[in-house]
Amino acid sequence: MRIVLVGPPGAGKGTQAAFLAKNLSIPHISTGDLFRANISQNTELGRRAKAYMDAGDLVPDEVTIDMAKDRMEQPDAANGFLLDGFPRNVSQAEALDVMLQAEGMKLDAVLDLEVEEDEVVKRLAGRRTCRNDGSHVFHVVYAPPKTEGVCDVCGGELYVREDQSEDAVRNRLDVYHTQTEPIIDYYKAQGLLVTIPALGEVQEITKRAMDALNK
Ligand code: AMP
């Protein structure tokens, strides 16, 4: 299966993508994760992407599309993949269509995780990340650490990631509305869009998505 996951920042795309990819035995391809890996390895690509990411802006298409294409051409993605965070604007969606058509392939579905704006802001603004290990993530309301400001796992200091500051969050939402939301109509016109209400328990949302895919 070839699936695209869309939804505003804070909709839980990364979490759902990981579960869905596992259930469907296809690789989870997150352009955000690919950029972050490049940043931590201090590659040329990572250095180019960082300022855009910190500000909550989109990394330019010419960089992003090539990176996504390279990843989709890896052998593990030959029989399908779940895209998380790509495409993020109509020109990326068109580039993806061209890429797939050239191989005689097409998308099976586009899942749109739907969450209200207020909820998204609450989720994003409360995230706290460990300075020692960025995969240790907490939330002041939904997953508070035992001691405020201290990582439960390793005792590291918790901080607000650069791209999760209030200004960056506001900008990411703005970018989502102006640049990413148009792809929802683009995929609706192709008959691929499935809307998944994304409020509630993580497992329940995964089930909704799996049920929709099995239809
Ligand atoms: P994410 O982890 O998906 O929220 O992505 C984090 C950041 O990486 C975004 O705010 C963008 O700066 C950048 N990014 C990820 N995917 C894309 C994309 N498809 N196009 C442009 N920028 C992207």
Q: Given a cut of 90, is residue 39 above it in pLDDT?
A: yes
- Render pLDDT for 90-128 as a digit per residue (tens, 0 to 9): 999 999 999 999 999 999 999 999 998 888 888 888 999
pLDDT digits (tens, 9 = 90+) for 158-198: 999 888 888 888 888 999 999 999 999 999 999 999 999 99
Number of alpha carbons in the 13 Å side-chain half-sphere of residue 13 = 27
List, chain by chain if needed, residues with CB within 6 Å of any ligand 1 atom.
9, 30-32, 35, 52-53, 56-59, 64, 85-86, 88, 92, 163, 172
Q: Which atom of ligand 1 is nearest to the CA of 175?
A: 10
The pLDDT score that the predictor gives to residue 194 is: 97
C-alpha to C-alpha distance for 135 and 182, rounded to whole angstroms? 31
- Distance from the CA of 58 to the center of ligand 1, in angstroms? 6
The pTM of this model reads 0.89
What are the chain's domains? 2-116+181-214 (3.40.50.300)
Query: What is the Cα–Cα distance from 93 to 96, expressed in whole angstroms?
Result: 5
